[in-house]
Amino acid sequence: METSSLSRRDFIKRTGLASAALTLGYYMPALAKDVEIVQQQVAASLGIELNAWISIDTTGVVTIINHRSEMGQGSFQAVPQIIAEELEVDLNQVKIVFAQGHQTKYGSQVTGGSSTVRGSYKRLLKLSATAREMLVEAAAKKWNVANSDCYAETGHVIHRPSGKKYHYGELVETASKLEPPKNVELKNPKHYKILRKPLQRQDIPLKTNGSAVFGLDKKLPGMLYAVVERNPRFLGKVKSFDATAAKAIAGVKHVIPVKMRVFSHDREGVAVVADNLWAAMQGRKALKVEWDDSGFPHHSTEQLYKQMREDVKNKSGLSFKTQGDVKMALEQAHKKLEALYETPYEAHACMEPLNCIAHFQGDKCEIWGPIQGPDWVQADVSDLLGIPKENMTVNMTFLGGGFGRKAFLDYPHEAAVISKAVNAPVQVVWTREDDMTQGPFRPGMVYQCKGGVSKEGSIKSFEVKMAGQNMNHQNPGADKLSYNDSVTEGFLETYLRSLPHYSFSDVPLDSPVPVMWWRSVYSSTNAFAFESFIDELAAAAGKDPIDFRKQHFWDGRYHELANKLIEVSGWASRGKNAGYGVAITECFSSIVGEVVKVSRQADGKIKIDKVWAVMDCGWYVNPDTIRAQVEGSIVMALGAATKHATHFAEGKAVEKNFDSYKMSRIAEIPEIEVHVMDNEEKAGGVGEPGLPPFTPALTNAIFDLTGKRIRVLPFSLDEIA
């Protein structure tokens, strides 16, 4: 499979689109409610830019442009699998190439919010079905028969009465002259041959044989290498520096001050640029830098959490969603509860640290690297450099993990600034310590939950006040009085219909610590509070935890998932010598329920025996990809719950590498069993929704076994009494 980035002109040349090829794309006119499928030759004659291109050449090979990144989540499998199904071709007939950053052509290109499939599957299905029908029509014209006498299969159009067939490559020239049909019939999922099948991912061979190009693999002629000594305090400045010793290192070419934009501030540092990476790193060690850290607070973890605890207790929150009268309902409740939950700051800790290549030339700049949002980079860096957006080219490579961090814009900007300063292509490489200490981080949060249950055992009042940093408040010109619109993220939508009295609000914390999206965003912290407190309310009501949740479900979809969870986990027949915990969360249009089983070993320590997960993501592509993403989400959640956190002392991140930011080891990972619901709901996300329910399911299981409630993360399994 081809994985290079290329321009529209080169793409046309290489795939022969000028004549003997069938190429289709979507045209999205400004302010239009509907998009239109247009054939490339027609689009070119009208000066129209197309996106979501599918091209079939005279050999029958299908080439598509993938506008999203591949960071392990499976877009390089999902997109071809969608297209191959309706186009009636084998996956080995499909090639995929990365698109360059260009929002006008491709719409949003940000790989985040678990949106690649759910945001494009309907269009991809229709586009490939349209191409198939045009090929069928082309064959029918050649045979002078009715379209209905022909059908497509495995890259051929076959004449049903005679058995004659044409290879797609033999039809593309004729098909390219046809007008795309306005309406095409899509398959019923029960007739799928490729979709919903556990097919092997096409990027795995590339990643195992070394041919996949990640950011650090990319090289340019005459490229220099740079590392940057950045101020360890997030708003600090460079007061002065002595580059004498650094410049004495063989291979060091330049030592320059550098600034990169981080939200509304510039992070300052000193870049060492050399003709090889080792020299640059040694030059950095030899640098002498004096920092100016005046004019802003140097927060510690203790100060941050003390402030958040005081805020939820003493300040009124900015109201996001309310229904009924929670205070009156709480006063009238049969039983009342109040609990405080705390979640830590976290680093993204991707296996591939940040890196980026930039080549600035006059009024143009080109970038290569592991980038989650190429269109954002194109717009942001062109603005910061003061060059036309059309002169900013952004090329994606494979990503060694992203989790939201590589959708940020600081590291491409920094690379472009250094390239401009030294007038050469430059690859900026972040060390593991840079990656772990510079942020942005997942924000730490404190939740105050209040609730009451009726005499009959149902939720009468549910109130959550959240204290922590609002990611949106960091943006230039942000309204610091605006509420956090993610306060309910992770909470089941059905509860917002069934609970008579609820309130969700937040008290924003102001801190120099930069924060941003982390896998499943606020759901990763919200769900711990929501589903732990639901469990506490179930215990107060004397109800089974799953039954208690089910009695508040408004519609059947949630009941079906809960019943499946009961069935696969053996919930109804669970024994007394083990603890079972459950949590059900919803984010990115998917619902996930998880049950965790724990037991106490002979040495008295708690062991996680097994995790059962049920994913309802509606329409889906590949069950193996779903299982892999849920498993990965659970492993990541386990680490954040029981192993690692980022702490701050005197305004600096403490944990610098994996010696102190401990990761879960393979021997600590429990058995994970994943089930996928089959239904006709719209497609939801897969890469993130499996993470939020794990931690509350785990802590609820520990309560079931030990009677001990865990309300502060992270905690050690070995230290539970």
| Residue ranges in 503-604 assigned as alpha helix (H) | 523-541, 545-550, 556-569
Torsion of CA 634, 635, 638, 642, to 10 degrees: 180
d(CA 73, CA 116) in angstroms, rounded, equals 10
**Same domain, yes or no: 657 and 710:** yes
What pLDDT score does 30 carry?
Answer: 45
What pLDDT score does 9 carry?
Answer: 46
**Same domain, yes or no: 410 and 325:** no
Work out whether the CA dihedral 353, 359, 360, 364 comes out positive or negative: negative
Query: Which of these three, 405, 429, 453, is where a domain ends?
Result: 429
Q: Residue 526's closest CA among 628, 425, 444?
A: 444
**Same domain, yes or no: 241 and 202:** no
**Strand pairing category for 648-649 and 606-616:** unpaired
**Same domain, yes or no: 258 and 359:** yes
Cα–Cα distances in Å, from 273 out to 220, 416, 421, 677, 695? 15, 13, 10, 53, 44
Residue 3 lies in a domain: no
- Which pair of tokens denotes residue 188? 């019923």
DSSP reduced 3-state for 694:
helix
Query: Which of these three, 148, 183, 209, is where a domain ends?
Result: 209
Asked if residues 87 and 128 have their Cβ atoms less than 8 Å apart, the reply is yes
The DSSP 8-state label assigned to residue 714 in this structure reads S
Neighbours of 305 (CB within 10 A): 20
Asked if residues 469 and 443 have their Cβ atoms less than 8 Å apart, the reply is yes
For residue 235, give every residue at least 6 positions away whose Cβ sits within 8 Å of its Cβ, in sequence order, or none.
265, 295, 296, 512
pLDDT digits (tens, 9 = 90+) for 389-446: 999 999 999 999 999 999 999 999 999 999 999 999 999 999 999 999 999 999 999 9
d(CA 159, CA 163) in angstroms, rounded, equals 5
d(CA 62, CA 56) in angstroms, rounded, equals 5
Asked if residues 317 and 481 have their Cβ atoms less than 8 Å apart, the reply is no
d(CA 308, CA 467) in angstroms, rounded, equals 5
Which pTM value belongs to this model? Answer: 0.93
**Same domain, yes or no: 499 and 623:** yes
What pLDDT score does 17 carry?
Answer: 39
**CA distance from start to end of the chain:** 53
Could you give the number of structural domains in the chain?
A: 3
What element of type H or E holds 584?
strand 579-587
Tally of CA atoms within 13 A in the half-sphere of 394 that contains its CB: 32
Asked if residues 498 and 551 have their Cβ atoms less than 8 Å apart, the reply is no
Residue 300 lies in a domain: no
Tally of CA atoms within 13 A in the half-sphere of 267 that contains its CB: 24
- Which pair of tokens denotes residue 41? 């030759």
Query: 3-state SS of 313-352?
Result: HHCCCEEEEEECCHHHHHHHCCEEEEEEEEECEECCCCCC
User: Where in 404-495 does DSSP place strands (E)?
Assistant: 426-429, 445-453, 459-468
Calculate the CA 152 to chain-centre distance: 36
- Which pair of tokens denotes residue 38? 């247009």
Look-up of token digits 């799928």 = 192
What pLDDT score does 623 carry?
Answer: 97
Torsion of CA 97, 98, 104, 107, to 10 degrees: 100
The answer to whether the bond into 714 is cis (omega within 30° of 0) is: yes
**Strand pairing category for 94-98 and 318-323:** unpaired
d(CA 31, CA 695) in angstroms, rounded, equals 43
**594 phi, psi to nearest 5 deg:** -135, 140
Residue 301 lies in a domain: no
What CATH number is associated with residue 182?
3.30.365.10
Query: Which of these three, 185, 209, 233, is where a domain ends?
Result: 209
Neighbours of 340 (CB within 10 A): 16
d(CA 472, CA 482) in angstroms, rounded, equals 9
**Same domain, yes or no: 392 and 541:** no
The DSSP 8-state label assigned to residue 5 in this structure reads B
**Same domain, yes or no: 86 and 166:** yes
Q: CA-based Rg of the chain, rounded to a whole angstrom?
A: 28
Residue 55 lies in a domain: yes
What pLDDT score does 119 carry?
Answer: 83
**Strand pairing category for 335-343 and 252-262:** unpaired
Residue 302 lies in a domain: no
The angle, 0 to 180 degrees and rounded to 10, between the axes of the packed helices 623-642 and 694-706 is 60
Q: What amino acid is encoded at 147 in this protein?
A: N
**Same domain, yes or no: 400 and 542:** no
Residue 187 lies in a domain: yes
Domain range for 19 is 8-209
Residue 523 lies in a domain: yes
Helix, strand, coil proportions of the chain in percent (round to 5)? 35, 25, 40
**Same domain, yes or no: 577 and 470:** yes
Q: Residue 69's closest CA among 464, 499, 502, 373?
A: 373
Asked if residues 599 and 573 have their Cβ atoms less than 8 Å apart, the reply is no
Q: Residue 56's closest CA among 140, 124, 155, 143?
A: 155
Asked if residues 184 and 137 have their Cβ atoms less than 8 Å apart, the reply is no
What pLDDT score does 7 carry?
Answer: 46
Neighbours of 685 (CB within 10 A): 25
d(CA 85, CA 192) in angstroms, rounded, equals 7
Neighbours of 577 (CB within 10 A): 8
Q: What is the mean pLDDT of each run of 10 residues along the chain (721 residues)?
A: 42 44 69 58 57 81 84 87 93 84 76 83 91 96 97 97 96 91 92 94 91 96 98 97 98 98 96 98 98 97 98 97 97 98 98 97 96 94 95 95 95 98 98 98 98 97 98 95 97 97 98 97 98 98 98 96 98 92 98 98 96 98 96 98 98 98 96 97 96 98 98 96 84
d(CA 484, CA 470) in angstroms, rounded, equals 6
Residue 375 lies in a domain: yes
DSSP reduced 3-state for 230:
strand
**Same domain, yes or no: 51 and 162:** yes
d(CA 281, CA 277) in angstroms, rounded, equals 6
**Same domain, yes or no: 458 and 419:** no
The DSSP 8-state label assigned to residue 390 in this structure reads G
Cα–Cα distances in Å, from 168 out to 40, 57, 81, 150? 17, 8, 18, 13
Work out whether the CA dihedral 406, 432, 412, 97 comes out positive or negative: negative
**Same domain, yes or no: 672 and 533:** yes
